[in-house]
Amino acid sequence: MRIGMIGSGALGLYYGSMLQRSGQDVHFLLRRDYHAIQQNGLQICSCNGDFHLPQVSGYQTPEEIGQVDLVIVGLKTISNHHLIELVSPLLGTNTAILTLQNGLGNEELLADAFGAEHVLGGVAFLCSNRGEPGTVHHLGEGKIRLGEFAGGLSQRGRNLAEMFRVAGVPCDAVSDLRRARWEKLVWNIPFNGLSALLEKDVTDILNHPSSKELVRELMFEVIAGANAQDLEEPIAGPEFSQQLITFTENMDHYRPSMMIDREEGLPLELEAIYAIPLQQAQAVGIKMAKIEMLHTLLDFSEAYIPR
């Protein structure tokens, strides 16, 4: 399969490298890593074993990539105002678009531009960071859950899940993408926001009893907002939140993406991870007061970050 990777950060480079290593024909849209990867290839330092790709098909414009069978979007949502122009040159009549971006609203943006029949979404449970140019550090996890934007469990979704599994990436196709999106937010909203605001990693946050309780309360608010969204099955609040907390306790001093973005003076993904979920919850009569306060504090603090 000919694959175009739009958004070659830690997520895009890791998943793209896994797919290329398995034999897929992957083409990366590169920015800051372009020259390093052209000269030295792509290095993955992984908890599952390091590997190096000496030759990588990298490009500086989407027009150079041309039409592909599958577009994978790993772009940060803060760049979504460029998303349509980046994806358009890669599309053919039957091209599928799989967005692995955080938060809500990404599939809708693509569906409005290209038609819902082209669009799938996925949630990635990946612990990875970029190192020096041309290097990605895979610290743990990596599972993907993907599904059709239009809903239902399709053969296309099953085939893409199998493609990732063959590449060594655990992947499931799901029939309710909306539920999978909200499940990821149950983790993203508390840990990304608190780590960026407090400048503390997940271990520090969970080791402090009051902040650990705040994590749980934020999770309960996300679950309440999720369960009002006409999901196929509700999310079980206490059980699911405890599962995520236990999971995170094993992430030794992991720094979420928003913490890294704040440290590097980069904009935070507040629209997709906070504003749109708050709007969708409010639209069905659910007020997420603590999340609204967290969003307000993050938005306020953004104004004081030098860029």
143, 184, 212, 290: which one is catalytic?
A: 184
151: left (phi over 0), alpha (psi -120 to 50) or beta: left
Q: Quick one: tokens of 268?
A: 């935070």
287 is catalytic: no
As a whole number of angstroms, the distance between CA 21 and CA 167 comes to: 7
CB 116 within 8 A of CB 131: no
Per-residue tokens: 118: 């082209």
Nearest CA among 166, 114, 116, 111 for reference residue 144? 166
CB burial of 53-75 (b: ≥16 within 10 Å; e: otherwise) equals: beebbbbeebeebeebebbbbbb
Report strand pairing: 135-148 vs 119-130.
antiparallel
**Who's near 207: CB < 8 A, 6+ residues apart?**
none
| Residues recognised as catalytic | 184
